[in-house]
Each structure stands twice: as structure tokens, then as C-alpha cells.
Structure 1
Amino acid sequence: MATEAAGLAVGAISLASLFTTCIDCLDYITLARNYGRDLEISLTQMSLLNQRLSIWGEIVKAQNEGFELPALREQWPQIGSTVGNALISIKEAFYDASGLEERYGLKAVPGGTNTAAKIHESKALNQIMDTFHIIQRRRQKETSVVKKTWWAVHDKKKFDDLLRTISFNIDNLEKISENLNILEKQKKKLALVMDEIDDEDSLKLLVEAEEADKNTASASSGHSFMNTIIGERARVIMGNAGTSGASHEFRDTKITGAHVHMGNMSGAVAKSFWNASTPEAK
């Protein structure tokens, strides 16, 4: 009888579980009741990042434990830490409630868990999210026994810091895709999905979000991370947080149970990050 192949893992965490957690985090962000066009554009940016990450996971078969993309499995000893670092950095951005409020301008939706009545996206944004299957995933999760906290965007400037962090790490995943010769496939898949959007207001919103995303991406670029190992109890942010600045190269870094930021950080973000309780204190 053939032995079933083990799924890929990042330390003690399976790739499937880590990827699913990241998607869950991105799915549970909505708009505050009294939102403006700027926040609507920012949440559209988040939806685009969500879709890029979803497509990456689909193409590499991240949730098919033991049956991931053969090229990914073959190169996992060389690229596993890079993939893991990117996903862990996205997950860590949602590490604690106080950090989401202080650093990223999010507030928990009253009541702890959300219902359709508490979601305030516009019709244009709703069509984008529906096309990206975000709304479908939300509905499925609403039936789950384990209820999730939803977060509403209140502060665009702070929320842009979160967009930069996520964009930076998805860019790193797509660099891996380029090495695996699947990046063009991902881009074509994204283009096909976006072609399904035919509402004029939704298309205008997408154009504005893509333009804003270029500015977000440029502010988060410049650093390179090679052979970084992150322990299970470490809390790490990789990339710029709240500011831009000189680029840096990080090589052969091993992080255990500590708070570490690798990149440029603003004073406001630093105060929140370094004052937060350590994982050991949780």
C-alpha cells in the first residue's frame, strides 16, 4: 500500500493551515458605517491583495495537503522559509486586537461577530468582492460554530500601513512564483477574474484602487530577505511599517521568541509594536 505524502509545513504549522488563516484575516475586514471614497478605495486595494493571495494559493495548491504543486514540493527545502516568512508576516499583522486598532486604524465591529446588516460596503465594492468570492467565503464562515471578529476600517493613513505590509509579503510570494514559472499563470487568472466585473462604478473603483496600489507597493519595496528562520513563538514584521526609507538586505537571520522588525518603522508604529506584550506573556 502506497504511503500518503505528507503536506508541506512551516515549522510545526502546515502550509494549508497557515495559508487559510491568512485568507481568513483578510476576509474579515469591512468598512465603517460612515465611510468616504478614500476608505472605499483602500478596502478595494485589500480585496485585490486578497484575490492575489487566493490565486497564489490556488495555483500552488496550498490547501491540498500532500498534493501541493510538484515544483513547490521539490523546491521546498530551498524556498520553504521564504514562503513561510511571507505568510507568517501577514498572520502576525493581525496578532492582537490592540495592535489592529493602534497601528492599523481598525475597530472591532460591535457585537464581536458580523452579520450582513453590519457590512457597509457600497454596491460597487460588493460586486468586486462577490466576483473575488470574498462574500461567498464570508457567508460560509457565518455558519461556522467558531465565530470570528470582524474589523471595520476607520483610519485610512494607518490602514495604508497594513496594506503596505500585506502587499510587500504577497510580492515576495509572487517572486517565488516567478522562480517556479507560474507567475504568468497567476496574472492571467487574475485578469480573467477581473474581466468578469462589468459594472461601470465597480470598474472605476478598481482603476482607482490599482493606481493607489502602485503607490502602496513602491513605499514597501526595497528590502531583501534571504534564509530567514522564524521560530513559532517569535513576533516579526518584515518590511516597512508606517514609513518608507533606505533599503536593506537581511541574510541568515534566525529569530526565536522575540519581537523583531526588519525594515523601516515610524515612531507611532514602533511605540505600539514594542509596547505590545510578548508571545510568552500571552
Structure 2
Amino acid sequence: MAEAAGLALGAIGLAGLFSSCLECLNLLETGKGYSRDLSLLCVKYKVEKTRLLIWGESAGIFQDQESYNNSLDKVWIKSVVEEILQQLKLLLNDGSVLKSNYGLQKITGANEQGLEVDRPRGLDDSFESRFQKLSLSLAQTQKRAGTVDKVRWAVKDKRKFTELVDHVRQLVDGLIEITPDLQPRQREKVQEDISVLKDPEDLRLIQEACSASHPDWSEAASDAAETHSISAERRILIAQWLERSESFASNLMSSQLPPIETGDVRQNSTQISSGQLFAARQTQLVPPQRSRWVYLDQHGNQIGPWSGIEMHSLYTDGVFDPRSLLKKVEEDNYENLTQFMLRIGKTVEPFLEPQTGILYPPLVGQFAPSSKES
């Protein structure tokens, strides 16, 4: 019992130190007037800040004891983690070092307007929201590990700031490498974080900034950018289709639709066993270009598999009607299009909505399927 209490106290102490590091990282502002090179550098800094947050969430150090990752209780791992976090806090909490060695300047009333400080957006929005929740969780258990200087900073010297970004990245890399069992969950969280970003410029910056150092981030940003690059013409087609099918959806909501029978439907010999796929592979939140769908044509033949992007193309080309039967490859049962839209709560661009499923490899030579049926 005493040993368990000691572990719990150790976890709480680690959470306090971790929270102090996040707070220090969050004291740097990025400016609207920065050049593109400096903007890319600031994106790299934001990515490292978010990587640290994702590491802490994956470790469960702010959650209850059941969610806490026990690998942190290994003496040698806990010792290295604490040392890395201490180094990170010292690096970011020494004002004279930040100013002289890393090219930062304090934001004061006299220079704040001239710096045109940008407010959080994109990654910043996500970080701020989650950091506030984590801070509240920590406040309910203990005080922070020491005090943090609340002075806010802006970038003055790009060359020196590059060194700070590199040092932060190396320390975050150390945390990730010392806890390899957390990495699958971290990759999943990266997909989740990037998939909800909407700003094309944010996504382009992340893709470019991470191309060499973090290819998983760059690939996720590329996937998200492709998802959100739907033309205005296709959006109009969607609105027209929804208008035509509105009465049918209303009938379904009133339980007027008869049950759908699929027992006699013919399927081709290439169908994949969904039960085997689910048993063999772990599901996660999947962007549309990494999902796989099949549907039944008017003769009951299974068509596909297609990615969510290709299903969206078919959808906007009018291939489907409200009764069209479809499913993801790994699912057992078909449902009609209207049932699918009502189930996920999306009647606009339903196939572009990230959904829980199997993350398939990117398609090579992906092309838009023909809207013509034989």
C-alpha cells in the first residue's frame, strides 16, 4: 500500500513539472508581420509544443491512476523523464538566456503593438483548449512544480531562435524515444489533431515545416489539405442533391422506411472478410483518403474498394440515391446512404468526415471513379 501511494505521489509530481514546461513553451508569441521563413520556424516551434502535449496525454500523467502509463514507474525511465523535463524548464524559464542566446525579446506595453502579436489559431487553438483542461486537472491535485516567469516573449533574431527550436525538439525527441510503447497512441493523436484543421495556409506551413523532421506530421497535413480542397462547384452539387432527397430523409426520421434486406445480395469474389480485418488490425480515427469503402450497384454487385475521397466524388456525381447500400470494407453490414448520414450526423460531405476505422495505406495512382454505371 505504501509503495502504491509513493507511485501516485510520483505521478502527481511529474505532472506538475510537465505542466510547468508546457506553460513556459506557451509564453512565446508569434507575429503577423513575420517573413515566411520565420513563420515556418514558428510552426516548427508550435509542432514541438504540441508534440510535448501529446506525449503527456498519451502517458496519462494528468488522468486517474487507471489511465496512467505504468512504464513511467520504472525507476530508470522516470529518472530520465524527470531530467529531460527539468532541462526543458531550465531552458525556457531563464529570461537572460532566452534573450542573449536564443534571440527573444520581452513583450511590453511599449513594443506590443509594433510586434503585431498574432492570437492563437490552428494548432494554437487546440493547444490552448487542452492545456487549460490539463491545468485545471492539475490544480485539483497539487501546486505546480515551482514558479514560472509570466513574461511573454517574441522572436527578434531568427538565427538564434533556430537553435532554441532545435534544442526543444531534441528534448521532446528524448521523451518520445524513452517511452516507445506510447508512440502508437501519439501517432493516432497526431492524425486527430491535424484532421480537424481547416485553414489551407496552416496546413501548407505544417506540411513544409515538418517534411524533414516529422514526416508523419507532414503526411497528415497533406492528407487534410487534400480533404479540404473541395471545389465550390461540388459543394453546389451536394446542396442540390440534398434538396432532392430532403423528403426521403424526413420519411426515414418518421420511421416510414421499410427494413432493408441484404441476404440475397450478390457480392464479387474479392470481398474482404471484415471480421478478420477487425481482429487483426486496430481501429482509429481515419481521414477519408485513408479509408476504404464498397457499395452495391443496381444489380447487387459489390463495387470498390474506394477511398472516402473517391466515394465523395461518386456522391457528388449523383451515382448514389438515398437507398444505395454501402459500408466500409472492414464492416460486416451494409446500410443505405440516408441511414449512414443520419448515424454520423452529417448530411453535407459525409464521406469527408474522419471516422473510426482501419487506417489503410495511401492509394498509389488514385483516380476519381467514373459516375457511369453499366
Q: TM-score band, normalised by the shorter chain?
A: 0.5 to 0.7
Task: State whether structure 2 residue 31 is matched by structure 1 residue 38.
Answer: no
CA distance in 1, matches of 2:173, 2:129: 24
Q: Percent sequence identity over matched residues?
A: 28
CA distance in 2, matches of 1:21, 1:107: 21
- Report the number of matched residues: 202
Kept after mapping to 1: 8 A contact 2:60/2:67: yes
Deviation sequence 1:18-66 (CA, Å, 0-9, x none): 1001000111111246421122111111111111110111111223476
CA distance in 1, matches of 2:96, 2:22: 20
TM-score under structure 1 length normalisation: 0.61
Aligned to 1:91: 89
Q: How much has 1:128 moved relative to structure 2? A: 2.8
Q: How much has 1:163 moved relative to structure 2? A: 0.8
- Corresponding residue SS for 1:126: coil
Alpha-carbon spacing, 1:153–1:173, altered in 2? closer, same or farther (3 Å): same
Alpha-carbon spacing, 1:85–1:136, altered in 2? closer, same or farther (3 Å): closer
Q: How much has 1:177 moved relative to structure 2? A: 2.1
Aligned to 2:24: 25
Aligned to 1:262: none
Q: How much has 1:74 moved relative to structure 2? A: 3.8
- Corresponding residue SS for 2:29: strand
Which consecutive unaligned segments of at least 5 residues does structure 1 have? 216-282
- Corresponding residue SS for 2:46: helix
Higher strand share: 1
CA distance in 1, matches of 2:95, 2:84: 21
Aligned to 1:205: 205
- Corresponding residue SS for 2:179: helix
Aligned to 2:296: none
Kept after mapping to 1: 8 A contact 2:48/2:168: yes
Bigger relative contact order, structure 1 or 2, given CA contacts below 8 A and separation 6+?
1
Deviation sequence 1:72-95 (CA, Å, 0-9, x none): 2442x1211110121111111123
Kept after mapping to 1: 8 A contact 2:31/2:115: no
Alpha-carbon spacing, 1:135–1:70, altered in 2? closer, same or farther (3 Å): closer
CA distance in 2, matches of 1:58, 1:104: 28
Kept after mapping to 2: 8 A contact 1:56/1:174: yes
The equivalent position to 1:174 in structure 2, one of 173, 176, 181, is 176
Aligned to 2:279: none
Structure 1 runs (4+) greater than 6 angstroms displaced: 1-4, 138-141
CA distance in 2, matches of 1:135, 1:36: 27
Aligned to 1:190: 190
Kept after mapping to 1: 8 A contact 2:61/2:69: no
Kept after mapping to 1: 8 A contact 2:29/2:153: yes
Q: What are the residue-to-residue correspondences of 1:29-68 with 2, within 5 Å? A: 29-32=28-31, 34-64=33-63
Larger Rg: 2
Q: What are the residue-to-residue correspondences of 1:236-275 with 2, within 5 Å? A: none
- Corresponding residue SS for 1:107: strand
- What amino acid is aligned across from residue 98 of structure 1 in structure 2? S
Which consecutive unaligned segments of at least 5 residues does structure 2 have? 136-147, 216-374
Task: State whether structure 2 residue 155 is matched by structure 1 residue 153.
Answer: yes
TM-score under structure 2 length normalisation: 0.47
Kept after mapping to 2: 8 A contact 1:104/1:159: yes
Alpha-carbon spacing, 1:85–1:139, altered in 2? closer, same or farther (3 Å): closer
- What amino acid is aligned across from residue 91 of structure 1 in structure 2? K
Aligned to 1:120: 117
